[in-house]
Amino acid sequence: MDAAVQHIPLPQAHHAKPEPDIRPVAPPQSLLAQSLIGTATDGDLRRGLLRGITTDAPARSIMNSAPRTIRSR
């Protein structure tokens, strides 16, 4: 009888649908932040070259991301 029991398939549990692949996204940015373009000056380029950064590197790798600025009236 044990041999007969071994051949009886066990009932399969109902398989739930796989969970969708949900990934967190970045919070929405302001319109100003979305429209800013990275700018690199000749000084940024020279300093980047001195640090060994190649000219085909992205501008953000050499640009000053926090330049000193003044407001005009």
pLDDT of residue 53: 92
pLDDT of residue 48: 92
Q: What is the DSSP letter of 59?
A: G
pLDDT of residue 59: 85
pLDDT of residue 22: 79
Q: What is the pLDDT along the chain (73 residues), one digit of tens a residue?
A: 555 556 666 666 666 677 777 777 777 677 666 666 678 889 999 999 999 999 888 888 998 888 888 887 7
Q: Where are the domains of the chain?
A: 34-66
Give me 48's structure tokens. Answer: 């980047």
Global pTM value: 0.43
- Tokens 């969970």 appear where? 19
| Beta carbons within 8 Å of 21's beta carbon, 6+ residues apart | none
Beta carbons of 29 and 36 less than 8 angstroms apart: no
